[in-house]
């Protein structure tokens, strides 16, 4: 018995290691090219062993670091606030949907699902938020449009509630006369740590990675998040290299970010998440054994 | 008779401008000198008729004074301008403040300036236009007159120009106005810059100097082959010719795309008015056959259509010797700045001018609450060197420093360069770069050279024709997708034209290219008739 | 029951109705807190999604910026023509559906496999490390990914040609001019980017399974494979169904970055990588009209919607609980 268990462990580890290598090697390539000199990049392409090491990309980005630091702060604030709201609204919406006897349950599910498919487009949403609510160039513009609620997360949470929270438990508490909010807070949530952690993580990622809100709703550089900075740079360089851009390239008093700089900014953009992620993982712990249910 | 009357009124207007500028403004000496050196071409002629018109001149300048009096007493208003090129918000605000000092005095109007990055300019601009946000003036940049006018994104400017745009009207000739009008109304004010294009080849000077082939004999792309062979012999590690990010879309031919979307004039310097499918034409076949021969002989870089580097980067790294380039005054300097080496640009196709050559202009959107003010400010930017210098180059001391007062040459201040300046310069995007400073890296005569260049250009038969694609949008979408499949591969010579072109043309036909060409021919004939 | 008692009590029709209404109200009253919980979400969706949805009408109009959404001319289905008139119309549809189908199947299998493996691994440190590493690709923007792919596949200097093929003594391949490899390349890139993210949800679900079931199974003599087959997988079924249904809703959509940037917009690859989104982008690049791009989006939404309705009905037949709605 112990032999096969160990053998299985070894196989599992090998597979995971291969997968991890598969995932990480291209990233390593990206990192090494962020400190390779531009000439070496053109002559030899991206290499795991750069022929010419050169930190100009990082110097360029971090010497004038006020932009980057402010970018991080904006990203951090927006992500924390946005994620908190998102998870709250999602949980509050998903829990009632998980209660099978709720009248109109299917209607509400359809109500939210419909929004996943049909969309009025950027312009009406933009007009709504800027014209009616006047949030342009404010921090709210990075939090409210589109990201505050996601049908996907709602369905995931609802599914988790219906699958993993046995109805019997809820019924038992109700017989004791508990209110719904109480049930949600004291019974359901503690049993749902993994899904809450999941939604928090996913919502957090969607806020951290978002750059469209910043692009459309903000044009003061005081409120640019780190992703907006990165993507503006990428868009500019993509454009200036394209057909139309070529004609104006020479007369533009702007430098095109080198490949190294682009890689460097990608590294800087992803780094904070990698630092924070391990803290989330402790929530993905085996849940409570609800022994009383299965007799 | 009519012609001389026109000339007369033109001179009078120039004289008026001169008197208005010296009389009403608080300009420094250098801007006066810029004006003078700019108008050397016309000043001699105006001198001759000056004495006989003195009394009329007084009368007119009196009228001007009255008008400017009136304008400075208007209600306060803010003109919001949208412009390309990322710039720090603080710097934009500072520049707008400095610029406002001039416009406040003249028109009691303040300027507000926003700048959007190149990659997202159109999206951000469209949002502003669609949501009805405040916007009074913007640079066209990728929005054609036909598209903009048809979609109601821009307003007609005729009356506004009459009332407040006299300087602009005086400076822009009739053929140019045709290129920014639709159905008889003017919609855009075109930028004053190089308005034509020639084509040729850009080469690394260092290598060129060691070669024996006589480049003065080169009159077509085919003639380049001998030169490339020599480069390959002497420098086996350098590609004689490279592509620019997988493209080679400039041709050494007198091609007029007639507004784009298929259907061209094969040789626009002739009198032919036949609209043809460029990809099915003899000229095109010849061109790409030559290029294909470069590939088969090993003179072209390998995998030319999938190269992801800029041609300039390849030359800078020493991987390439040359690439097909456009020509205009100052192109050597521009390329040298990007490449960091000495570059020789050989012109193979002399400059010619199309409707498309006037690709940059300024519009007023329907969002503007006071198009009058917008036009006043636009006119001022077009004609006032002091104002335009602030808007183009930024603040003296912060973004630039004057190096040569007399010639009007500037450079970055200590510690500032293109990568860290807070206000990036995009002179070509503002209405009139020809009256602004020149940078040290440019030729000091680049503006006068530009004027001469524009004058020397051959006008295409199709110049002034405005193509409206509304009726064939579906076919255009389908054909553009087909074009994407073959365009670069054939242009760079990678595919054998004997096989690839027939396939390409066949697919285009199935996608409806003949419908597009027929429509374009119809519109073109109609336009030609209306010109007579 | 109620009706019987009422009849027996000799109440009038009106009284009967009142009685049942009061019963219903009492019933609903207990649900008020639940409705209250949903209120913030409902409000947000109305503001952010439903009211702006009126903008869909632009797909049927010749949008004029001066006249605005309501004042613009109504032109029926004209904006949709370009999607169907092209000789490529079938090709782009086929590409989009096939890729999405492959992504759904392979993506789900891969994510579940990884989640199960992760769960089986005992060392907590190893678990954390693996999980973090496989998530990293998700964090990298697709544009940067396209540069990295170029770093591998570029003909002259790419890692594959330069190091791997050379070492094996094979001829370099001109990847960006060879369409037949690209369905596989795109799938690999897509999985690379998404597997770490996709497996999180499955992993969280597995972790939430009541341990009691496993213990009972062990007592009954089940081995590892049987445990997975009879406990883990069924527990994942609701999640799989929901995710698949949602993916069906998006079956006409595609990741633009993956199909346009990663192949570097290379001509020869277009027939194999052109999806509805990239076709619309290429076709409207020079002549963007708001009406036509809206029409394209509406077309994608509508088809997805019809398909989901159908799929959902099917699911309701077999497994009512886990249907979308």
Q: Which of residues 154-183 of B touch A (CB under 8 A)?
A: none
Q: What pLDDT does residue B60 have?
A: 61
Average pLDDT score over residue span A31-51: 80
Nearest CA to B262 among B464, B506, B475? B475
pLDDT at B224 over 90: yes
Q: What pLDDT does residue A294 have?
A: 34
Average pLDDT score over residue span C51-72: 91
Does residue A139 share a domain with residue A7? Answer: no
Q: What pLDDT does residue B477 have?
A: 93
CA-only gyration radius of chain B, Å: 25
Q: Which of residues 20-39 of A touch B (CB under 8 A)?
A: 38-39
**Cβ–Cβ gap A222/B89 under 8 Å:** yes
Residue A291 lies in a domain: no
CA dihedral for B347, B352, B354, B358, sign (positive or negative): positive
Are residues C277 and C97 in contact, defined by beta-carbon separation less than 8 angstroms?
A: no
Q: What pLDDT does residue B243 have?
A: 93
Residues of A within 8 A of B244 (CB-CB) are: 246
- Lowest mean pLDDT of B521-530, C210-219, C255-264, C305-314, name the range: C210-219
pLDDT at B508 over 90: yes
Distance CA A198, CA A161 (A): 13
**Nearest C-alpha of chain A: how many angstroms from C10?**
30
- Give, rounded to a whole angstrom, the gap between the first and last alpha carbons of chain B: 20
H or E segment and range at residue B114: strand B109-116
Rounded-to-10 torsion of CA A180, A184, A185, A186: 90
* C222 contact A CB<8A: no
Q: What pLDDT does residue A78 have?
A: 96
| A contact test, residue of B313, B343, B442, B492 with most A CBs within 10 A | B313
* Residue B441, strand partner residues: none
What is chain B's mean pLDDT, rounded?
85
Number of domains in chain A: 2
**Nearest C-alpha of chain A: how many angstroms from C200?**
7
State phi, psi for B181 to the nearest 5 degrees: -120, 160
Q: What pLDDT does residue B188 have?
A: 93
Does residue C189 share a domain with residue C112? Answer: yes
* Residue B438, strand partner residues: B409
| C contact test, residue of A5, A12, A183 with most C CBs within 10 A | A12
Q: What pLDDT does residue A279 have?
A: 77
Q: Where are the alpha helices (DSSP H) in B235-330?
A: 282-296, 311-316
Residue A221 lies in a domain: yes
Confidence grade of residue C201 (pLDDT, cut at 50, 70, 90): confident
Confidence grade of residue B30 (pLDDT, cut at 50, 70, 90): very low
**Cβ–Cβ gap A195/C211 under 8 Å:** no
pLDDT at C228 over 80: yes
Q: B474: nearest CA in chain C?
A: C82
Q: What pLDDT does residue A13 have?
A: 93
Residues of B within 8 A of C286 (CB-CB) are: 260-261, 476, 480
pLDDT at A228 over 80: yes
* B513 contact C CB<8A: no
Average pLDDT score over residue span A231-249: 66
What is chain C's mean pLDDT, rounded?
89
**What 3 state SS string does A1-65 have?**
CHHHHHHHHHHHHHHHHHHHHHHHHHHHHHHHHHCECHHHHHHHCCCCCCCCECCHHHHHHHHCC
pLDDT at A181 over 90: no
Residues of A within 8 A of C301 (CB-CB) are: 117-119
**Cβ–Cβ gap C177/B366 under 8 Å:** no
Higher pLDDT: B333 or A27? It is A27
**C282 closest CB neighbour out of B306, B475, B484:** B484
pLDDT at B136 over 70: yes
**Cβ–Cβ gap C85/B486 under 8 Å:** no
Domains of chain B and any CATH numbers = 2-69 (no CATH), 74-192+358-436 (3.40.190.10), 197-353+465-532 (3.40.190.10)
Does residue C151 share a domain with residue C59? Answer: no
Residues of A within 8 A of C288 (CB-CB) are: none
Residue spans of beta strands (DSSP E) within B418-527: 438-439, 458-459
Residues of A within 8 A of C35 (CB-CB) are: 96
Say how many residues make up chain A: 295
pLDDT at B433 over 80: yes
Does residue C212 share a domain with residue C229? Answer: yes
State phi, psi for B353 to the nearest 5 degrees: -120, 135
Residue C89 structure tokens: 């119309």
- Lowest mean pLDDT of A15-19, B235-239, C105-109, C286-290, name the range: C286-290
Residue A293 lies in a domain: no
Are residues B351 and B120 in contact, defined by beta-carbon separation less than 8 angstroms?
A: no
Distance CA B41, CA B448 (A): 9
Does residue A47 share a domain with residue A69? Answer: no
Average pLDDT score over residue span C62-85: 90
Does residue A78 share a domain with residue A30? Answer: no
Q: What pLDDT does residue B529 have?
A: 92
**Nearest C-alpha of chain C: how many angstroms from A198?**
6
Q: What pLDDT does residue B110 have?
A: 93
Does residue A221 share a domain with residue A145? Answer: yes
Distance CA B423, CA B89 (A): 9
Q: A1: nearest CA in chain C?
A: C223
Does residue A241 share a domain with residue A125? Answer: yes
Distance CA C224, CA A4 (A): 10
Q: What pLDDT does residue A288 have?
A: 35
Q: B308: nearest CA in chain C?
A: C264
Residue C100 structure tokens: 């999405």
Does residue A166 share a domain with residue A43? Answer: no
What is chain A's mean pLDDT, rounded?
82
Average pLDDT score over residue span A34-53: 79
**What 3 state SS string does chain A have?**
CHHHHHHHHHHHHHHHHHHHHHHHHHHHHHHHHHCECHHHHHHHCCCCCCCCECCHHHHHHHHCCHHHHHHHHHHHHHHHHHHHHHHHHHHHHHHHHHCCCCCCHHHHHHHHHHHHHCCCCHHHHHHHHHHHCCCCCCCHHHHCCCCCCCHHHHHHHHHHHHHHCCHHHHHHHHHCCCCHHHHHHHHHHHHCHHHHHHHHHHHHHHHHHCCHHHHHHCCCHHHCCHHHHHHHHHHHHHHHHCHHHHHHHCCCCCCCCCHHHHHHHHHHHHHHHHHHHHHHHCCCCCCCCCCCCCC
**Cβ–Cβ gap C85/B474 under 8 Å:** yes
Does residue A49 share a domain with residue A97? Answer: no
Q: What pLDDT does residue A96 have?
A: 92
Q: What pLDDT does residue B41 have?
A: 36
Nearest CA to C204 among C111, C129, C325? C111
Does residue C176 share a domain with residue C92? Answer: yes
Nearest CA to C203 among C98, C110, C282, C298? C110
Whose structure tokens read 């062979």? B229
Does residue C67 share a domain with residue C87? Answer: no
**C284 closest CB neighbour out of B130, B477, B510:** B477
Bridge pairing between strands B320-327 and B239-241: parallel
Does residue C104 share a domain with residue C65? Answer: no
Distance CA B427, CA B410 (A): 13
- Picking from C74, C105, C131, the residue at the C-terminal end of a domain is C74
**Nearest C-alpha of chain A: how many angstroms from B184?**
28
Instruction: Give the domain range for residue A29.
Output: 2-54
Q: What pLDDT does residue B5 have?
A: 47
Exposure string for B39-55, b = 16+ CB within 10 A, e = fewer: beeebeebeeeeeebee
**Cβ–Cβ gap B306/C174 under 8 Å:** yes
Higher pLDDT: C118 or B61? It is C118
Does residue C260 share a domain with residue C160? Answer: yes
Q: What pLDDT does residue A64 have?
A: 62
- Picking from A18, A36, A54, the residue at the C-terminal end of a domain is A54
pLDDT in tens, C233-247: 988 998 899 899 999
* B433 contact C CB<8A: no
* Residue B190, strand partner residues: B361
- ipTM value: 0.86
Are residues A163 and B167 in contact, defined by beta-carbon separation less than 8 angstroms?
A: no
Does residue A153 share a domain with residue A75? Answer: yes
Phi/psi-derived region of residue B141, left when phi > 0, alpha when psi is between -120 and 50, beta in every other case: left
% of chain B residues with pLDDT over 70: 87
Confidence grade of residue A276 (pLDDT, cut at 50, 70, 90): confident
Does residue C183 share a domain with residue C35? Answer: no
Angle between helices C182-207 and A193-209 (to 10 degrees): 140
H or E segment and range at residue B200: strand B197-204
Q: What pLDDT does residue B425 have?
A: 81
Distance CA B260, CA B468 (A): 10
* A288 contact B CB<8A: no
Whose structure tokens read 């009541």? C210
Confidence grade of residue C12 (pLDDT, cut at 50, 70, 90): confident
Distance CA A157, CA A198 (A): 9
Contacts 24+ apart (CB under 8 A), A257-260: A257/A233, A258/A38, A258/A41, A258/A56, A258/A57, A259/A33, A259/A38, A259/A41, A259/C147, A260/A33, A260/A34, A260/A35, A260/A36, A260/A37, A260/A38, A260/A41, A260/A54, A260/A56, A260/A57
Residue A290 lies in a domain: no
Bridge pairing between strands B197-204 and B320-327: antiparallel
- Please list, in sequence order, all residues whose beta carbon lies within 8 angstroms of the beta carbon of residue B168, skipping any fewer than 6 positions away: B161, B189, B378, B379, B382, B383, B431
Average pLDDT score over residue span B334-355: 89
Angle between helices B473-491 and B513-531 (to 10 degrees): 100
**Nearest C-alpha of chain C: how many angstroms from B312?**
18
Confidence grade of residue A253 (pLDDT, cut at 50, 70, 90): very low
Question: What CATH number does residue A166 fall under?
Answer: 1.10.3720.10
| C contact test, residue of B478, B490, B495, B512 with most C CBs within 10 A | B478
Are residues A154 and A93 in contact, defined by beta-carbon separation less than 8 angstroms?
A: yes
Does residue C244 share a domain with residue C113? Answer: yes
Q: Structure pTM?
A: 0.86
CA C173 from centroid of its chain's CA atoms:
34
* B331 contact A CB<8A: yes
Does residue C170 share a domain with residue C289? Answer: yes
* C270 contact B CB<8A: yes
pLDDT at A121 over 60: yes
**Nearest C-alpha of chain C: how many angstroms from B153?**
5
- Picking from C55, C74, C93, the residue at the C-terminal end of a domain is C74
* C33 contact A CB<8A: yes
pLDDT at C264 over 70: yes
Q: What pLDDT does residue B25 have?
A: 32
Does residue A50 share a domain with residue A144? Answer: no
Q: Judging by beta carbons within 10 Å of its beta carbon (0-12, 13-18, 19+), is residue C70 exposed, middle or buried?
A: exposed
Nearest CA to C186 among C77, C275, C251, C73? C275
Q: What pLDDT does residue B38 have?
A: 37
Distance CA B298, CA B318 (A): 17
Residue A275 lies in a domain: yes
Does residue C154 share a domain with residue C40? Answer: no
Q: What pLDDT does residue C263 have?
A: 94
Does residue A94 share a domain with residue A142? Answer: yes
Largest Cα–Cα separation, chain C: 98
Instruction: Give the domain range for residue C199.
Output: 80-322
Average pLDDT score over residue span C74-103: 94
Confidence grade of residue B187 (pLDDT, cut at 50, 70, 90): very high
Residue A25 lies in a domain: yes
Distance CA B481, CA C281 (A): 9
Residues of A within 8 A of B142 (CB-CB) are: 244
Question: What CATH number does residue C264 fall under?
Answer: 1.10.3720.10
pLDDT at B10 over 60: no
pLDDT in tens, B257-314: 998 889 999 999 999 999 999 999 999 999 999 999 999 999 999 889 888 888 888 8
Distance CA A290, CA C209 (A): 10
pLDDT at A249 over 70: no
Confidence grade of residue A110 (pLDDT, cut at 50, 70, 90): very high
**Nearest C-alpha of chain A: how many angstroms from B319?**
7
pLDDT at C163 over 90: no
Phi/psi-derived region of residue B2, left when phi > 0, alpha when psi is between -120 and 50, beta in every other case: alpha
Does residue C205 share a domain with residue C174? Answer: yes
Q: How far is CA A138 from CA A53, A129, A213, in A?
A: 41, 11, 11
- Picking from C45, C74, C103, the residue at the C-terminal end of a domain is C74
Residue A294 lies in a domain: no
Are residues B266 and B363 in contact, defined by beta-carbon separation less than 8 angstroms?
A: no
pLDDT at C110 over 90: yes
Does residue A69 share a domain with residue A24? Answer: no
Q: What pLDDT does residue B59 have?
A: 64
Distance CA C206, CA A285 (A): 10
pLDDT at C4 over 60: no
Sheet of B438-439, strands arranged across: B401-404, B409-411, B438-439
- Give, rounded to a whole angstrom, the gap between the first and last alpha carbons of chain C: 30
Residue A47 lies in a domain: yes
The neighbours of chain B, by the rule of 3 or more Cβ pairs under 8 Å, are A, C
Q: What pLDDT does residue C5 have?
A: 52
Does residue A91 share a domain with residue A168? Answer: yes
Number of domains in chain C: 2
Confidence grade of residue B117 (pLDDT, cut at 50, 70, 90): confident
* B170 C-beta neighbours (distance < 10 Å), count: 18
* C15 contact B CB<8A: no
% of chain C residues with pLDDT over 70: 96
Average pLDDT score over residue span B442-460: 90
The neighbours of chain C, by the rule of 3 or more Cβ pairs under 8 Å, are A, B
């Amino acid at each position: 018995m112990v032999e096969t268990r160990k053998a299985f462990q070894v196989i599992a580890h090998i597979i995971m290691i291969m997968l991890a290598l598969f995932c990480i090697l291209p990233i390593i390539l990206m990192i090494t090219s962020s400190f390779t000199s531009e000439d070496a990049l053109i002559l030899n392409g991206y290499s795991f062993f750069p022929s010419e090491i050169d930190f100009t990309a990082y110097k360029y980005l971090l010497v004038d670091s006020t932009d980057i630091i402010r970018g991080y702060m904006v990203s951090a604030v927006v992500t924390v606030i946005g994620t908190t709201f998102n998870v709250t609204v999602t949980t509050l919406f998903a829990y009632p949907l998980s209660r099978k006897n709720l009248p109109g349950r299917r209607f509400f599910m359809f109500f939210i699902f419909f929004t996943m498919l049909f969309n009025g487009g950027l312009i009406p949403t933009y007009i709504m938020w800027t014209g009616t609510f006047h949030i342009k160039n404010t921090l709210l513009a990075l939090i409210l449009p589109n990201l505050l609620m996601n049908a996907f997360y709602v369905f995931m949470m609802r599914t988790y509630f219906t699958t993993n929270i046995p109805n019997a438990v809820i019924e038992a508490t109700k017989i004791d006369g508990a209110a719904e909010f109480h049930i949600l807070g004291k019974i359901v949530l503690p049993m749902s740590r993994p899904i809450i952690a999941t939604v928090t993580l996913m919502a957090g990622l969607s806020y951290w990675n978002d750059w469209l809100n910043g692009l459309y709703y903000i044009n003061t550089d005081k409120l640019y998040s780190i992703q907006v900075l990165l993507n503006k740079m990428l868009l500019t360089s993509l454009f200036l290299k394209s057909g139309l851009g070529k004609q104006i390239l020479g007369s533009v008093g702007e430098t095109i970010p080198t490949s190294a700089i682009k890689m460097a900014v990608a590294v800087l953009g992803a780094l904070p998440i990698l630092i924070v992620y391990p803290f989330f993982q402790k929530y993905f712990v085996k849940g409570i054994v609800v022994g009383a249910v299965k007799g | 008779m009519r012609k001389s009357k026109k000339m007369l009124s033109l001179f009078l207007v120039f004289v008026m401008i001169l008197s208005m500028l010296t009389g009403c403004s608080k300009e420094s000496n250098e801007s006066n000198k810029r004006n003078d050196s700019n108008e050397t071409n016309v000043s001699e002629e105006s001198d001759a008729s000056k004495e006989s018109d003195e009394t009329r001149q007084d009368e007119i300048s009196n009228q001007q004074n009255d008008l400017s009096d009136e304008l400075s007493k208007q209600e306060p208003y803010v003109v919001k301008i949208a412009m390309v090129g990322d710039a720090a918000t603080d710097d934009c605000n500072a520049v707008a403040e400095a610029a406002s000092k001039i416009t406040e005095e003249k028109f009691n109007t303040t300027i507000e300036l926003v700048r959007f990055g190149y990659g997202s300019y159109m999206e951000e601009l469209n949002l502003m236009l669609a949501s009805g946000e405040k916007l009074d003036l913007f640079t066209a940049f990728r929005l054609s007159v036909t598209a903009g006018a048809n979609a109601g994104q821009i307003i007609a400017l005729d009356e506004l120009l009459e009332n407040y745009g006299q300087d602009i009207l005086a400076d822009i000739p009739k053929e140019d106005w045709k290129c920014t009008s639709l159905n008889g109304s003017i919609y855009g004010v075109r930028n004053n810059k190089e308005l034509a294009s020639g084509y040729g080849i850009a080469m690394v000077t260092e290598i060129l100097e060691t070669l024996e082939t006589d480049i003065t004999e080169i009159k077509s792309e085919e003639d380049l082959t001998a030169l490339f062979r020599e480069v390959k012999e002497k420098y086996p590690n350098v590609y004689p010719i490279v592509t620019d990010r997988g493209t080679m879309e400039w041709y050494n031919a007198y091609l007029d795309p007639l507004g784009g979307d298929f259907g061209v004039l094969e040789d626009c310097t002739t009198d032919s008015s036949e609209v043809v499918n460029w990809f099915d034409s003899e000229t095109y076949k010849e061109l790409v056959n030559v290029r294909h021969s470069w590939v088969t002989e090993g003179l072209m870089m390998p995998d030319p259509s999938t190269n992801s580097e800029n041609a300039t980067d390849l030359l800078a790294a020493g991987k390439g010797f040359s690439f097909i380039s456009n020509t205009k005054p100052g192109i050597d300097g521009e390329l040298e700045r990007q490449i960091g080496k000495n570059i020789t640009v050989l012109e193979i196709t002399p400059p010619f001018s199309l409707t498309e050559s006037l690709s940059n202009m300024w519009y007023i959107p329907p969002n503007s609450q006071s198009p009058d003010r917008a036009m006043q400010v636009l006119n001022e930017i077009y004609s006032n060197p002091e104002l335009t210098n602030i808007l183009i180059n930024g603040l003296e001391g912060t973004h630039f420093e004057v190096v040569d007062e007399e010639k009007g040459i500037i450079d970055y201040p200590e510690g500032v360069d293109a990568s860290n300046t807070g206000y990036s310069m995009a002179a070509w995007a503002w209405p009139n770069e020809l009256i602004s400073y020149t940078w040290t890296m440019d030729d000091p005569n680049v503006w006068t050279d530009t004027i001469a260049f524009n004058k020397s250009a051959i006008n295409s038969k199709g110049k002034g024709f405005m193509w409206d694609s509304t009726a064939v949008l579906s076919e255009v979408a389908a054909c553009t997708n087909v074009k994407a499949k073959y365009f670069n591969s054939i242009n760079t010579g990678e595919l054998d034209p004997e096989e690839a072109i027939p396939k390409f043309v066949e697919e285009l036909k199935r996608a409806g290219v003949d419908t597009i060409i027929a429509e374009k021919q119809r519109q073109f004939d109609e336009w030609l008739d209306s010109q007579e | 029951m109620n009706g019987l008692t009422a009849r027996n009590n000799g109440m009038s029709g009106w009284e009967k109705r009142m009685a049942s209404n009061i019963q219903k109200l009492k019933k609903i009253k207990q649900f008020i807190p639940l409705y209250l919980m949903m209120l913030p979400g409902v409000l947000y969706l109305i503001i952010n999604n439903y009211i702006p949805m009126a903008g869909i009408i632009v797909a049927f109009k010749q949008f004029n910026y001066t006249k605005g959404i309501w004042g613009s001319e109504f032109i029926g289905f004209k904006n949709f023509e370009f999607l169907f008139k092209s000789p490529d119309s079938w090709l782009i549809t086929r590409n989009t559906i096939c890729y999405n189908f492959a992504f759904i199947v392979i993506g789900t299998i891969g994510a579940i496999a990884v989640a199960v493996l992760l769960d089986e691994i005992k060392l907590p440190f190893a678990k954390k490390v693996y999980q973090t590493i496989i998530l990293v690709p998700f964090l990298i923007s697709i544009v940067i990914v396209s540069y990295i792919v170029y770093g591998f596949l570029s003909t002259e200097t790419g890692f594959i040609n330069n190091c791997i093929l050379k070492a094996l003594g094979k001829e370099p391949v001109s990847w960006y001019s060879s369409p037949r490899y690209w369905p596989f390349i795109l799938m690999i890139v897509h999985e690379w980017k998404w597997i770490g993210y996709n497996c999180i949800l499955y992993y969280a679900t597995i972790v939430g399974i009541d341990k009691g079931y496993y213990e009972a199974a062990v007592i009954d003599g089940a081995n590892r494979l049987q445990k997975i087959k009879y406990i883990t997988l069924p527990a994942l079924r609701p999640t799989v169904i929901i995710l698949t249904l949602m993916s069906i809703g998006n079956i006409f959509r595609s990741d633009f970055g993956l199909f346009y940037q990663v192949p570097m917009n290379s001509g020869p690859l277009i027939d194999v990588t052109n999806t509805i989104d990239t076709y619309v982008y290429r076709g409207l690049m020079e002549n963007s009209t708001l009406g036509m791009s809206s029409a394209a989006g509406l077309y994608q939404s509508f088809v997805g919607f019809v398909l989901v309705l159908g799929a959902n009905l099917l699911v309701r037949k077999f497994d009512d609980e886990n249907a979308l709605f």
